[in-house]
Structure formats: structure tokens, C-alpha cells
Amino acid sequence: MDPLSPLDGGTDPMREPMTVAAQLPPPVRRIVVETPPTAVSPPPPGSNGHSPHAMVAPSLRRMPRAQTTPIERMRTEALSIAYGEKLAVNQVSLSIRQGEVLALIGPSGCGKTTLLRSLNRLVDLTPGAIRGGRILLDGEDVDSFDVTLLRRRVGMLFQQPNPFPMSIFDNVAYGLRERGSKKPSRRQLETPVIEALHRAGLFEEVKDNLDHPALALSGGQQQRLCIARSLAIQPEVLLLDEPCSALDPISTQVIEETIVSLRTEIAIVIVTHNLQQAQRVADHVAFMYLGDLIEYGEAERVFGSPVAERTREYVSGGFG
């Protein structure tokens, strides 16, 4: 046996008593200053503790509500979607209107993204997906449309910005060039491209660099470029799948302002996990849980006085 093993009475060097020096605390460093430091008073009660010039997250103040009369553009009627044996969306009926922003909220896996992707039949691309019920666009079943035409009328923006590896101008003009058999000239495209960039709130930032690579833009600018690309082909509905999840607070605020400014022209549906964002931008809210539509109504009521207990738990932070 090892003579140093504690099992036979040997000495374990790792267990020797510490010396007196080793037991002393480390020395204290003292900094000598010429004048005593100035004490700073604590912030007054009720303040957020920030300097008036400090950068803070966007306010929770709700953005102004639209003053126009909403026009229904889409409707789901008893919509159900299953992946094999798993039911992802269960008998959901709701209205999507121009003049409003509809926010789909709920915990991960509740079916809100599946519902969003079904509106322009992207969910049809998933192997094994089965859809029941009806989805109507201006009163017509979406299954009666050519799918390419449907996706021009119902555009979609994803979580991560996905500009094409081409210039800013060519990104916005892409859909316009592809929609006809005869390719329009750049001169013919200038007006609709510039108009789309204006509507997306990006033109003033890129007007001198339209031929520069789109991939050189910041994340927030790329997302607005993707909005402009969708707007250029004049959709009636715009679907947004967590469009700010990869952006900083300042870019998020710009995107939210863009969304709210567009709602009078097109119907907008946004999926978001950010309840504060839903409170800021949404006119109507649909809360989903395990595929079911638990509550649907005006945002002020859903967040302020929800009817369903499950909604009340979710919006108060009880789960999710």
C-alpha cells in the first residue's frame, strides 16, 4: 500500500495544517485621493434609476389606435391542422382585418406559428400536414387560388432577415421583375421600389446606396428591407413571424412603428413571444394554448381584463 495513503496512517501532504501566513486574509489595497469623493444621492421614489440620457428599452405605452373602419380581408373557419397524429391547431375561427394589427400570443408549441403559416399555405409544404376547416381571402377559399398568386397577396416575413445576395434596389425589385413574362427596365422599377422603401421606413437611410449590397445593412435595416420587398408587390395581408426576435431594442422600436403605420393599408398578423410588444402594437389579440384558441378580442381587454383564467395566468407571467 502507498505509504502516503491516509488509510495506513501515512502523511497526506494535501491535508497538512495551513501555516499562519496562509490563514491571513489578503492585504487591503487603499487608494489615496487628493479630495474626498462626492456622494451621489439615490434616485427619488418612483423613478427608474436611469439618467435622462440613458438608453432604455421602448416604452410600454400603447401606440395610437387606427382611426379607420376595419375591413375584413381574411377569415379562418373551424381551422384544424395536424401533423400525423398530433393536432397542432384545433377548430380555430377568427377574423383578420385591414386597419388592425392582430397579435397571436401563447407559449412555445401552442400552434400560433402553424396557424400563421397556414394563411398563405406554407404549412402545406410540411410532409404529413393535414388541414381541415376553411381559410378565406376576400371571401374566397385559399385552396381555389394558384399558390404563387396567393403568396403575392399574403406576404410573409420571418424571424431572421433574409435579404437576397444582391443590391438593395434589386432586392426590392425582385418580386416586380418575377411577376410578369416581360422584365421591366430599371427606370420603370424606380418609382415602385422607392415607394416601397418609403413605406417600410428605410428610404432616407439608403437613398444614396441603392446599388450597395443588401447584406451590408444592419439587422434592423435588413428586416425593413424584407418588409419593403414584400410591400413592393402590394399584398393585402402581411404575416410576421417574430420579426424582432433577433433585433436590439432601438431597431425593434423602428420595426414596431413601421408595422403600426402600415396597418391602414394592409391587414397585419404578428406572432410574438414578447407580451410587451403585443401590448404596444396589437389592436386585437388571439391567445392560443395547446392548439386551442383560448381567447380572442381587443388588446386592451385581453391584457387588462381577460375572461379566461388561462389567459389571465399567461399575461400576468404565471407561465410561458
C-alpha–C-alpha distance, residues 277 and 272, integer Å: 7
Entry pTM: 0.78
pLDDT in tens, 249-263: 999 999 999 999 999
Q: Which tens digit of pLDDT belongs to each residue from 73-103?
A: 999 999 999 999 899 999 999 999 999 999 9
C-alpha–C-alpha distance, residues 269 and 99, integer Å: 11
Confidence label for 56 from pLDDT (cuts 50, 70 and 90):
very low
**Is residue 96 one of the residues assigned to a domain?**
yes
In this predicted structure, what is the pLDDT of residue 183?
83
Answer for the pair 160, 222: CB distance below 8 angstroms, yes or no: no
272-291 pLDDT per residue, tens: 999 999 999 999 999 999 99
**Structural domain includes residue 30:** no
Residue 26 resides in a domain: no
Mean pLDDT for the stretch of residues 224-245: 95
CATH number of the structural domain spanning residue 137: 3.40.50.300
Question: What confidence score (pLDDT) does residue 178 get?
Answer: 84
Distance CA 146, CA 208 (A): 38
Q: Give the pLDDT band of residue 43 (cuts 50, 70, 90).
A: low
- Cell numbers for 73, please give them: 380581408
Q: Which three cell numbers stand for residue 52?
A: 435622462
Tens of pLDDT, residue by residue over 216-228, are: 999 999 999 999 9
Question: Could you tell me the three cell numbers for 161?
Answer: 432577415
List Cα–Cα distances, 318 to 242, 298, 312, 315, in angstroms: 22, 21, 8, 7
Length reported for the chain = 320
What's the structural domain count of the chain? 1
Domain assignment present for residue 101? The answer is yes
Domain that holds residue 259: 71-315
Average pLDDT, the chain: 85
pLDDT at residue 285, as a whole number:
98
